Every structure is written in C-alpha cells, then in structure tokens.
Amino acid sequence: MGVDSSTQSCKAVLVDAADGTVVDARSVAHPPGTAVDPRAWSAAVDEATAGLLERADALAVGGQQHGMVALDADGAPVRDALLWNDTRSGPAAAELVAEMGGPQACADAVGSVLVASFTVTKLRWLRDAEPDHAAAVRRVLLPHDWVSLHLAAPGTAPWTDRGDASGTGYHDPATGEWRHDLLVAALGHDADLPRVAGPGEVAAATAAGTPIGAGTGDNMAAALGLGLRTGDVLVSLGTSGVASAVSATPVADGTGVATGFADAAGGWLPMVTTMNAAGILDLQARWLGVDHAGLAELALSADVGAGGVVLSPYYGGERTPNRPDATGTWTGLRPTTTRADLARAAVEALLCSVAEAVDRLVAETGEEPRRVLMTGGATRSPAVRALAPAVLGRPVVLPPPGEYVARGAARQAAWALSGAEAAPAWTLTGEEHLPLDDALAGRYAAVRTAYADLRERTAP
C-alpha cells in the first residue's frame, strides 16, 4: 500500500507488488489552508486506509514536502503545521541566507538557497513571532514523518528519509547528516530530529507487524512511481508547478532557481518549483464564468500570443522566482482584447513558467532531456496538451492517468518487503506522445520573451 498525504487530500492505493497493478484505492480530503493541525492528517489516513491496511503486506507514505510539524515534550503539536505554500516566513528565509554567508554558501551547505517553503525558515518565523511556542518545541517532523509515525506501532521512534530531509534546510544532502547548528540558529535551541532511514529499508512496523518503508517527499515518490531514470525530466502541474530531473550528481545552484534535493533511491532530484500552476487556470475559468473545458475551448480559439496580452501569474506570491509577496500582473489589455485572449494568456503563462523551469534544469544538469514527461490535473486541459510542446520547445510524453505519488510509495513498500538492492521494475503502458510542431514553437519564442520581460519589469 502506498499513501499520498498531499496538501489537498490523503490517497491510499493498494497495488500488486509484482507489477504495480492497482487493486483498490481510497481518497479523503484534507482541510484547506496553509496552516493545518496535523491531527487532521491522522484522521484522514485512518479513513483512507480503512479496509486497505489489513490487506497490505507492506506500506510506505509519500507526503507534501517542507511542512513544519513542531511537537512538544508530549509529542503534541505546539501549533498548526505551516505548509510549504505558507509564505509568512519569507523575511526569515532572507535572514537565514544572509547569516549563512549568502546564496552560494547556503546552497553549498544544504543543497538549496532557502525560500519561504523550507522548514527551517518556518522555525525562524516561529522563534520570532511565537516565542512561547518555539520554546515548547522538543521535536520537529515533516508531514510524511507524522503520518508514517501515526501508522506505526505505539512507542516507535520517528524516522524520515534522505529525499524529504533534503528539503528542510537543516540537512546536508551531500553527507546525509543533520545540521543541528542550523536548526539551533533558526529555532533558538536544539530539538530532536528523526532518524534518516535508507532507501529500501524497513523503517518500522504497524501494531499488527506490517512492515513500513522509509517513505519520502511527494516529488521523490512521484519519481519512483513513474520509474524515472537519469535524463528524464518530469513536469507536474498540480497545486504547484514542479520540474524535476533524475541526476547522478548533486546540484548546488547559488541562484536559488534549482533546489538540490536528494531522491528516494540513493541519487539526486534537482527541482524547480513554482507555487502557481493549476490554480492559474482555476482562477481564469472562474473569472470568465466557464468550466475547464470551456476555458480550453476559448484559449484555443485565440491566436498565439493572446492578442498581446501577457500575464505574470504570481497570484499568491511565488517561490521561483523568489517573490513571496508578489501578486498577479496583466499587461497588454486593449479595447479589442477578447475573453478568448484572456483564456489564452492564462494557459500561455502557465506553460511559460514551467518552460523556464525545464530550461533551468537542463542548464544545471548539463544535458538535454532524454524525455520530458508531464503529469498533474492541468494536463487534462486540451489547451495545455495542444500548446505544451511548442512552448517547452520539446516533445512531451503524457503518462497514463494515475496516483503516482501513492504508486511510488507503494513501490517503495514493495522494495522494503523484497529486501532487494533496488526497487522492483514496474512498467507503465498507455503513454500519450505529444509531438513538437517546429513552426508553432518558432512563434512561441516571442511569447516566451514577452513573458520574461514582464517578469523582469515587475521584479521588486
């Protein structure tokens, strides 16, 4: 069984360990917001796994990255967990980067330049904004750690994995060691941190004795679920927009655009992440009074470049580029602008954003992708499918629909159960290949330039 404890919901998927075929699945919603009581995740995983857990020979959890689960001496949350998309710690991130000697020194120390998403910045915010809560903290976990521990037998010591740990800001992915000095600098005092379990390890067991794998962050789990290999680039268009690449070597990007995360299989997963992705289309559909099919139809009826309308879609702040206080900006609006232009501009902005992410990964890894795969809810849009290869400038592969975070966690559980040196080889069938239209891609060069120009003009 694989569990995906995401921002929006908890999904549990029971699969055949031999080939990854889905046997059964359940889903339960999580509370909305960027600060959530982690006990809500416990209740959700109990409901989602009811009737499945008893049938599982092993399990593992993939969870949203970065969230701060701060616990007191009794193991209870001192406050609601701050999630990855809570931007209140933006100033704290800037302070910590400066204290570490600047962006490149920060990237060299923890693999990434800190932004508000990282756990360590939320601990600094807690120290300064809620000192009584900060003083009460005795242990810090990540969301997937909390859910894994909830499923384990009473008295089990907490654990995490190298993939999710690499996104905290107080872990050195190059050495695999916790940086308690950075934790102390952020929180004001030391705290217990979970053991880092190895890839394929049986980390614990349920009260009934069912083995539990290490678990990992959601992006690392998705890489496992899709069977990504070196040279693959994955673009995920969900709540966030994520471009990740499987790499044989670590990345330490001092510009802060690419984060140098570890993966769940012993390698590396450099990543570029935006906060605004599918929500760009959600908001535009709501404004235009249409559903997503209607939005796509409108967008495809407009010409390339949306009649000169350009959108910088940082509605809720942004992570890449690091602009936690940004808002959305439209330009090029004229009396002749149509509803179709507005729809097209929203789709083009989404794709320009992820195209820049892919380009950055190519620059960091030093090689052209073997494949670009695209997943996530926004890929259901006919407009996204039609325009993605041209905007990205590369052919795109759409894997068959599936819960790939949960599938990756299930693959990790099967790995732990087998005791093998590598995860089992599961294959995917039913991929859809979106070819590159060179002529259309040529027309999108100007759109990419206009998007980049607006981004720079609106820089703080």
Q: What is the pTM of this model?
A: 0.89
Looking at the predicted structure, is the pLDDT value of residue 35 above 90?
Answer: yes
Which of the residues 80, 218, 232, 263 is marked catalytic?
Answer: 218
Given this model, what pLDDT does residue 316 score?
86
CATH superfamily of 2-218: ATPase, nucleotide binding domain (3.30.420.40)
For residue range 97-132, list pLDDT tens digits in order.
999 999 999 999 999 999 999 999 999 999 999 999
For residue range 36-92, list pLDDT tens digits in order.
999 999 999 999 999 999 999 999 999 999 999 999 999 999 999 999 999 999 999
Please indicate whether residue 132 is annotated as part of the active site. no
Write out the chain in H/E/C secondary structure.
CEEEECCCEEEEEEECCCCCCEEEEEEEECCCCCEECCHHHHHHHHHHHCCCHHHCCCEEEEECCCCEEEECCCCCECCCEECCCCCCCHHHHHHHHHHCCCHHHHHHHHCCCCCCCCHHHHHHHHHHHCHHHHHHCCEEECHHHHHHHHHCCCCCCCEEEHHHHCCCCCEECCCCEECHHHHHHHHCCCCECCEEECCCCEEEECCCCCEEECCEEHHHHHHHHHCCCCCEEEEEECCCEEEEECECCCCCCCCCCCEEEECCCCCEEEEEEECCCHHHHHHHHHHHCCCHHHHHHHHHHCCCCHHHCEEECCECEECCCCECCCCCEEECCCCCCCHHHHHHHHHHHHHHHHHHHHHHHHHHHCCCCCEEEEECHHHHCHHHHHHHHHHHCCCEEECCCCCHHHHHHHHHHHHHHHCCCCCCCCCCCCCEEECCCHHHHHHHHHHHHHHHHHHHHCCC
For residue range 152-191, list pLDDT tens digits in order.
999 999 999 999 999 999 999 989 999 999 999 999 999 9
Given this model, what pLDDT does residue 66 score?
96
Looking at the predicted structure, is the pLDDT value of residue 367 above 90?
Answer: no
The domain locations on the chain are: 2-218
Mean pLDDT over 224-237 rounds to 93
